[in-house]
A and B are shown apart, each in its own frame.
Chain A
Amino acid sequence: MNQPLLEIKGLVTAFPGRGGELRAVDELDLSLMPAEVLGLVGESGCGKSLTALSVLGLAPPPGRVTAGGIFFEGRDLLTLPEPELRQVRGARISMVFQEPMTSLNPVFSVGRQVAELVAAHQAVPATEAWERAVAMLGRVGVPEPAARAKAYPHQLSGGLRQRVMIAMALLLDPRLVMADEPTTALDVTIQAQILDLLRRLQRDSGVGVLLITHNLAVVAQMASRVAVMYTGRLVEEAPVAELFAEPLHPYAAGLLACLPARAPRRGMRLPTIQGVVPPLDALPPGCKFSDRCPRAFAACREAEPALVEVAPGRRVRCFLHHDQARPTRRAA
């Protein structure tokens, strides 16, 4: 199967601003193959979560998709009528959020919420919906699922609540799950359990996963391919082993270098990326990373490099890796 499951083309998601639209996602091209786990990484505000919300048609107003196409199983979701989109959302594409407590309804038992999801998409009797909910809770490792299904969200631990969210995400046998920081709110021993669960369920069901996270270690352990975003743009895309072995974009290299776990020696000063992410209304001209980049030269401040394929499966948005634009002498 060489047809991508999800193909995002030239996606622009923008917010109205004083001087025109502010593009929080800017001309994003990204595709995900069936059964693939793609890591989408970047720091707060880079547009990684907004990309996922845009796929579902859920970009928070006044933000909206202003250009591009989102093709899922061959259909453009952006032109799909709302009733059909609703059938895709939840059933064919589902989402796991960071904080299950705010995504679950506090006044209904978790079993009822899972069962309602069955009933919303399939015409089955209530008892069968409940039974399927209980079975799914069991599959995601909720102990004593028949009893726990009657519990309310606040009566469950954070780890169990996240299992419930995963049960809901996988219940209707979707083809794509977008997981946005699924373990960020969890303790480390619980995180290990949830990551293990996601890995096993992914392998068994062959579901494609878009794993959105700031945590590069989670990506290293979960994804086969990784895309790095900065200021709404994709700056590098690579097979995960290649990115970690040799990041090409200076931003990706900087992110990896500043991880304490990768420091050669305890207690040493960590390499840092100077400065801060610029706000969307004050992006530098040229390459958006040029004001923080230790390797920027004159051309970087004049024109924005394109995202160019430099090797099979490797794309990078940096003049250092564009043959024709490579400087003969590196500016300071």
Chain B
Amino acid sequence: MNPAAEPLVQAQGLSKHYRVGAGFLGSQRRTLQAVDQVDLEIRQGEVLGLVGESGCGKSTLGRLILRLTEPTAGRVLFAGRDVAALDRGQLRALRRQMQIVFQDPMTSLNPRLTVGGILGEPLRIHGLARGREVERRVAELLEAVGLRADHAGRYPHQFSGGQRQRIGIARALALRPQLVVADEPVSALDVSIQAQVMNLLLELREKFGLTYLLVAHDLTVVHHLADRIAVMYLGRVVEVAPAEGFGRPPMHPYSAALSQSAPIADPTRQTRPPALVGDVASPLDPPPGCRFHPRCPEAQEVCHRQSPELREIAPGHLCACHFR
């Protein structure tokens, strides 16, 4: 990976706030800060892993980048162009360049369409192929993801979970995008199938020169696939660091806790005491100052007052902590 590579995507001050509570029976309207003031770059050709626990905003951030969700503030530049400033036609052309793979292939594939229909539809809609050409492209796609051309006539329910995820990936690739946002692409799969799909993602990246934003909660998956890892906590990016050496100090205390919390598949390693006490605070009511301070073992007085900036603490290593 060329570290100086031009960013394909730049998120600048990106926020998504939801108003919740309709004032019913006097309940207060409150603001849920799903994503708050995020700056993040995805470089051309890299795999950027985005990790964090449920409700941290990682999936919302993926959707904001694809403009599947409209931001409350901030902007997204794709290849230098402001995605929000595009008109309908331009946005449609841009959609071809960025695609998504969902966690659960069963709920994201239309059960009434054959696989040929599912994969052929985007080609027809975008006017990329017609007639027999569609069939040929569908066959190519199926083979690229390790399925057979004659699978085109079957329906999603006739496939196993792993095969359905391959179909979901084939659909994302149909328009030959530059960027694929993969949102928990292997977390619904069994262990042995997980490895197959991870290998497929690696293979397709080489074959098609793809850039991935890999959203996942499983740090071992992200660590294996990603070049860089971004860590989110309660709507904020708290760290961006190279995957190589991730988990070694200096590290944001939350990232350190995340990497220490994953159980190790080695019975000879001693079990460690839990790195964190308490639960994640609600994004409805984020703590003042550093959002991690109520759970942080290193929190000082300043952390209660002042939100730390995401700044470079070593070349290519960004961290939002007052003490790093």
- A residues with CB within 8 A of B: 43-44, 157-160, 187-193, 195-196, 199, 214-218, 220-221, 240-241, 244-245, 254-256, 258-263, 266-267, 269-273, 276-277
Contacts and interface: CB of A to CB of B under 8 A. Distances in A.
A62 B263 CA distance: 37
Contacts of A255: 191-192
A254 B192 contact: yes
B292 to A, nearest CB: 11
Given A187-B217, A189-B276, A270 B195 contact: yes
Closest 3 A/B residue pairs (Cβ): A258-B195, A260-B224, A187-B53
B198 A270 contact: yes
B202 A261 contact: no
Contact of B265 (A159, A241, A244): A244
B244 A266 contact: yes
B223 interface: yes
A271 B193 contact: no
B26 interface: no
A117 B266 CA distance: 38
Contacts of B298: none
B202 A267 contact: yes
18 contacts: A158-B54, A189-B276, A191-B261, A195-B263, A217-B265, A220-B263, A220-B264, A221-B264, A258-B191, A259-B265, A260-B195, A260-B224, A263-B224, A267-B224, A267-B225, A269-B199, A272-B192, A276-B162
Interface residues of B, number: 47
Which of B257, B265, B268 gathers most chain A CB within 10 Å? B265
Contacts of B263: 191-192, 195, 215, 217-218, 220-221
Given A272-B196, A276-B193, A216 B224 contact: no
Contact of B279 (A44, A160, A270): A160
A199 B273 CA distance: 11
Contacts of B163: 276
Given A43-B191, A256-B265, A259-B265, A189 B275 contact: yes
Interface in B258-293: 258, 260-269, 271-277, 279-280
Task: Determine the main DSSP class of A at the interface with B.
Answer: helix
B87 interface: no
Contact of B274 (A192, A256, A262, A273): A192
A244 B267 contact: yes
A262 B225 contact: no
B190 A214 contact: yes
B196 A188 contact: no
A327 to B, nearest CB: 25
A58 B260 CA distance: 37
B273 A262 contact: no
B279 A190 contact: yes
Given A220-B265, A241-B268, A255-B192, 10 more contacts: A157-B280, A189-B53, A189-B274, A192-B275, A195-B263, A216-B265, A244-B265, A256-B265, A258-B192, A273-B192
B92 to A, nearest CB: 34
Contacts of B276: 189, 192-193
A196 to B, nearest CB: 5
A110 B269 CA distance: 36
Nearest to B225: A267
Contacts of B224: 260-261, 263, 266-267, 270
Interface in B88-145: none
B31 interface: no
A203 to B, nearest CB: 12
B160 interface: yes
A277 B257 CA distance: 36
A75 to B, nearest CB: 33
A52 B198 CA distance: 32
Given A192-B274, A267-B224, A187 B193 contact: no
Contacts of B40: none
Given A192-B274, A266-B244, A159 B279 contact: yes
Nearest to B162: A276
A54 to B, nearest CB: 22
Contacts of B54: 158, 187
Contacts of A193: 274, 276-277
Given A258-B191, A266-B243, A270-B195, A188 B261 contact: yes
B248 to A, nearest CB: 14
Interface string B156-192: 0000101100000000000000000000000000111
Nearest to B196: A272
A217 B261 contact: no
A271 B220 CA distance: 15
